[in-house]
Amino acid sequence: MDTFTSWPSWAQAEEPLGEALPPETVQVLRAAVTFAREQHGVQQRPTGRPYVEHLLEALEVAVAGAGVSDRDVLVAIVLHDVLEDTPCTEAEIVRRFGPRVAELVRWVTKPRGVAKADYLSSLVKAPSQAVLVKLADRVSNVQELQRMPWRFQRRYYLETVAYIMPLAGVHPWFATWYGEWRRRWHRRVERLAAY
């Protein structure tokens, strides 16, 4: 099972992105990463690392892993948490990156007041491109799940198996990756549940 942690900053991401994507796409991604960094500010991951590392991991998953090259999908991956976690508005995303990017980000944003299970269940109705955004996001989150407290590990594992893995079925690379991840984690979760 591959892990995707080679791009902790734009400096590490830019060269491999330039080898895989057209220059115009890399230019827009640079702007998206800058915008996301400004929006997320000092926000950190649960591990204490800068939040932008998660966004770049998800981008690495999509490009280096799944071979995604659709510019709007890749920009949406970088921006996927700005509506949920920052003051950024959908109108601002439309203005800077276009309506399609804004639509994809909206699909993967949990609406306020909606239960997480209901939000995750609704993703079965999402366009395929929005599903790609969510799949890349979740790979970043689960690839090093062992760093989290064990109760969180078990809950997040079960949530991923129930709601995210079914979405991967129509995306062969993601289906394979999640299948390998599940096989590795199944025994670990059983051991955790025994404590």
Provide the annotated active-site residues.
84-85
Tokens of 24: 């115009």
* CB environment 2-27: b (16+ within 10 A), e (fewer): eebeebeebeebeeebeeebeeebbe
Alpha helices in the chain (DSSP H): 10-20, 23-40, 52-60, 71-79, 82-85, 90-97, 99-107, 116-122, 128-142, 150-159, 172-194
Cα separation, 2 vs 100, whole angstroms: 30
Distance in angstroms (rounded) separating the CA atoms of residues 106 and 140: 19
Taken as a whole, the chain contains a residue count of 195
Contacts of 87 (CB under 8 A, 6+ apart): 39
